[in-house]
Amino acid sequence: DVRTDDVRIDDLPIRDELRGKSPYGAPQLDVPVQLNTNENPYPLPEPLVERIAERVREAARGLNRYPDRDAVELRTELARYLTRTTGYEVGAADVWAANGSNEVLQQLLQTFGGPGRLAIGFEPSYSMHGLIARGTGTGWISGPRGEDFTIDVDAAARAIARHRPDVVFITSPNNPTGTAVEAETVLALYEAAQAAKPSLVVVDEAYVEFSHRPSLLPLLQGRPHLVISRTMSKAFGAAGLRLGYLAAHPAVVDAVQLVRLPYHLSAVTQATALAALEHTDTLLGYVEQLKSERDRLVAELRAIGYEVTESDANFVQFGRFPDAHTAWRKILDRGVLVRDNGVPGWLRVTAGTPEENDAFLDAVRALKKEQS
């Protein structure tokens, strides 16, 4: 009887590569201090909430119609934001947007990856790169990263030459380590990738607004196989909005049109994102506060006696623990949820409000006492 509850996923005729796998996602636990998913701790300011309501009301009057399929107004404003904050001029034709940068990355892999093709990332890194590769039938190569979590150019270039991937992922700042990647490294890997295939090089800059260093966006100049991926989930404090975007040569933007679903970005999403972009300066003010809190976390964790990986993101990787999962559990027992990304010996904490960070520091200070 197919209506009984004992039909499990593996009883279904699913694709072989999905058998026995579990879905991506951090535990969503109801804990007082949640510093586990790299969210921005600040709710949107009230004037922006009002502006969203206004723009969504306006959009609601036209919901009987499909939205602007090409999201031209939104792409124009995203391009304006990129130009203003990086000094490198891009226009709407160089920008594409989707429901979170995860969807942007999925569209890129649907277009440039797929069955019989390969993508590479330098791990530990954002595990969704490999999972989206799997979901799109793209083979995945786990490339090397150094002991200090930087990318060793020679080792990485050798991996590219050997595997000849179709898509190369470079995450800067990297998640979960916080490590920024030098422009020279990106240039060297771009050259290696072009010599090997040529392939598409995707720089995932989800956290770049928190970096001590400038965006790698200007590297787009003269490099039609380079893509910069961005999101409004972190710096704009709008993880719930689901709005990610890319900047690349207009031909890349044209290419992803071949796989995007028609009307993928709802009119409500477009209106909300446009409202948020009107308040960019206020939101970037919160980013400045978070950067100084991030720097404080690094300094205080070191003062307590932890090892910390240099961070250019809104989170900090700290350790080392003989057993990271036990440490994760003990921090949780003190009411603070951090992230165990499966990097042996290390945990990751997102920079929260000063109060949340104090609660976290109290918890790890107590843990240090207990363990020494």
Q: Choose the stretch contacting ligand PMP; rule: CB under 6 A; options: 68-76, 97-105, 157-165, 193-201.
A: 97-105
Q: Which of 100, 124, 237, 352 binds ligand PMP (CB under 6 A)?
A: 100
Least distance in angstroms from the C-beta of 233 to ligand PMP = 3
For ligand PMP, the closer of residues 125 and 357 by Cβ is: 125
Q: Choose the stretch contacting ligand PMP; rule: CB under 6 A; options: 18-26, 100-108, 114-122, 297-305.
A: 100-108
Length of the chain: 372
Q: Which of 34, 36, 38, 136 binds ligand PMP (CB under 6 A)?
A: 38
74's tokens: 């939104």
Residue 121 interacting with ligand PMP (CB under 6 A):
no
For ligand PMP, the closer of residues 202 and 361 by Cβ is: 202
Residue 171 interacting with ligand PMP (CB under 6 A):
yes
Residue 102 interacting with ligand PMP (CB under 6 A):
yes
Is the Cα dihedral 125, 200, 274, 291 positive or negative? Answer: positive
| 3-class secondary-structure state, position 204 | strand
Strand partners, 169: 202
Least distance in angstroms from the C-beta of 242 to ligand PMP = 7
Q: Choose the stretch contacting ligand PMP; rule: CB under 6 A; options: 99-107, 301-309, 326-334, 357-365.
A: 99-107
Least distance in angstroms from the C-beta of 107 to ligand PMP = 12
232's tokens: 């409004």
Least distance in angstroms from the C-beta of 244 to ligand PMP = 4
Alpha helices in 5-99 (DSSP H): 46-60, 72-86
Alpha helices in the chain (DSSP H): 46-60, 72-86, 100-112, 127-135, 153-163, 183-196, 250-256, 267-278, 280-304, 324-333, 354-371
Residue 203 interacting with ligand PMP (CB under 6 A):
no
For ligand PMP, the closer of residues 100 and 165 by Cβ is: 100
- Closest alpha carbon to 343 in 179, 106, 156: 179
| 3-class secondary-structure state, position 236 | coil
Of residues 217 through 246, those in contact with ligand PMP by CB under 6 A are: 231, 233, 239, 244
Q: Are strands 167-171 and 139-143 parallel, antiparallel or unpaired?
A: unpaired
Least distance in angstroms from the C-beta of 72 to ligand PMP = 21
Please check whether residue 166 is in contact with residue 113, taking contact to mean a CB–CB distance below 8 angstroms: yes
- Closest alpha carbon to 239 in 99, 355, 56: 99
Q: Which of 206, 256, 301, 349 binds ligand PMP (CB under 6 A)?
A: 206
For ligand PMP, the closer of residues 225 and 348 by Cβ is: 348
Q: Choose the stretch contacting ligand PMP; rule: CB under 6 A; options: 68-76, 96-104, 248-256, 342-350.
A: 96-104
Please check whether residue 311 is in contact with residue 321, taking contact to mean a CB–CB distance below 8 angstroms: no
Least distance in angstroms from the C-beta of 1 to ligand PMP = 39
Task: Give Cα separations from 303 to 19, 308, 350 (angstroms).
Answer: 46, 10, 18
Size of site (CB under 6 A) for ligand PMP: 13
Residue 215 interacting with ligand PMP (CB under 6 A):
no
Q: Are strands 315-319 and 307-308 parallel, antiparallel or unpaired?
A: antiparallel
CA atoms of 59 and 74, how far apart (whole Å) = 13
Interface with ligand PMP (CB under 6 A): 38, 100-102, 126, 171, 175, 204, 206, 231, 233, 239, 244
